Amino acid sequence: MTSPAKPVGPGAGATLATQGTRILLVVVFSFPLLFMFVSSFKPDAQIFADLTSVRAILPIGDISLDNYRGVFDRVPAGRMLLNSVGISLLTVVLGILVNSMAAFSLSRMRWRGQKVVLMGIIATLIVPFETFALPLVWWVDKLPWLQLDGFRLVMTEGWLDSYHVQIIPFLANAFSIFLFYQYFQSIPKELDEAARMDGASWFGIYRMVVMPLSGPAIATVAILTFLPAWNQYLWPLMVVQTEDYRPVMVGIQYFFQLNVSWGQIMAYASMITVPVLALFLAFQRAFIGSIASAGVKG
């Protein structure tokens, strides 16, 4: 005998609808990336000819690497990529250290004015960068810096046209401090007391107890720090004059001078998008876990 078919309840229909909606959203949001990547292998004439058909997202027709070769002929793409990688990685590593230590002090230690400082840090989130960009340029132009001259260090004035002017002003970040603060609050403080009983210092508690338990928060801050560091455009335009220190985003303006090549623009955009996608794919599980836990515990 054949067993009767199980009726499909309303829950199964809702699940199918949810999965269908997710697939549709993936297609919609991935379409621009797919179009950009496919167009990077096509000449300009074919890009415009394929716009009105599905061929726009298919790697068919006159496919070649000419656009990628043209990118390196038109801009110092290799140097700019190395600059952005170095600037972004240093900003992430140092930013995690600075912001997590500030959050540790605010969440685990007790000192006078703690809440006032925390409220002041959170209040800075409402101030857009454009409002203090010009005063910041004036300040960094006056700050001293040690520079190697031959075999001796000399004190110079001004940070303009350098790597550190693109890193140091963005290490402390209010949102990163608040995210670490929220996550540290969810870690039982009894662990601190046990470590203190064993003779651990506050820095020892931070290094050996709190940070090893904060992997999701670290991954989230790493992504949220890397993205603006990688996408910086306005600030490098204001403080960097020579190509030796320029990041990749500034290179976009090179393609709109004289003859505009949309194929080369797509190739360059594909090159500078890959590191961001790779970073997110590498840390997506920890990133989603941190956001989910913040929503439950916050």
Each residue's pLDDT tens digit, 128-162: 888 888 899 999 998 888 776 666 777 778 889 89
Cβ neighbors of 156 (< 8 A, separation 6 or more) are 144, 145, 146, 147
Q: What is the pLDDT of residue 137?
A: 92
Residue 148 phi, psi dihedral angles, 5° rounding = -80, 120
Structural domain including 140 reads 65-297
Class of residue 198 by CB neighbours under 10 A (exposed 0-12, middle 13-18, buried 19+): exposed
State pTM to two decimals: 0.82
Is 215 a member of any domain?
yes
Does 99 score more than 90 pLDDT? yes
Q: What is the pLDDT of residue 298?
A: 45
| Mean pLDDT value across residues 96-125 | 91
- Structural domain total, the chain: 1
DSSP calls for 69-84? HHHHHHS-HHHHHHHH
Q: What is the pLDDT of residue 261?
A: 87
Is 179 a member of any domain?
yes
What's the mean per-residue pLDDT of the chain? Answer: 85
Is residue 136 within 8 A of residue 166, CB to CB? The reply is no
Is residue 35 within 8 A of residue 56, CB to CB? The reply is yes
Strand partners, 145: 156
Is residue 80 within 8 A of residue 246, CB to CB? The reply is yes
Q: What is the pLDDT of residue 253?
A: 86
Tell me the C-alpha distance between 101 and 99, whole Å. Answer: 5
CATH number at residue 124: 1.10.3720.10
Cα Rg of the chain (Å, integer): 25
Q: What is the 8-class DSSP label of residue 160?
A: -
Tell me the C-alpha distance between 281 and 284, whole Å. Answer: 5
List pLDDT tens digits, range 54-85. 888 888 888 889 999 999 988 898 899 999 99
Is 278 a member of any domain?
yes
Is 97 a member of any domain?
yes
Q: Say what percent of the chain tops pLDDT 90.
A: 38
| Mean pLDDT value across residues 231-238 | 92
Does 224 score more than 50 pLDDT? yes
Q: What is the pLDDT of residue 145?
A: 83
Tell me the C-alpha distance between 240 and 287, whole Å. Answer: 33
Tell me the C-alpha distance between 159 and 145, whole Å. Answer: 7
User: What's the gap between Cα 110 and its chain centre?
Assistant: 32
Q: Say what percent of the chain tops pLDDT 70.
A: 89
Q: Which of 150, 16, 166 is nearest to 90 (CA)?
A: 166
Is 82 a member of any domain?
yes
| Mean pLDDT value across residues 253-278 | 86
Is 45 a member of any domain?
no
Is 135 a member of any domain?
yes
Residue in the structure block whose two tokens are 């439950």: 296
Is 232 a member of any domain?
yes
List pLDDT tens digits, range 147-205. 766 667 777 788 898 999 999 999 999 999 999 999 999 888 888 888 888 888 889 99
Does 296 score more than 60 pLDDT? no
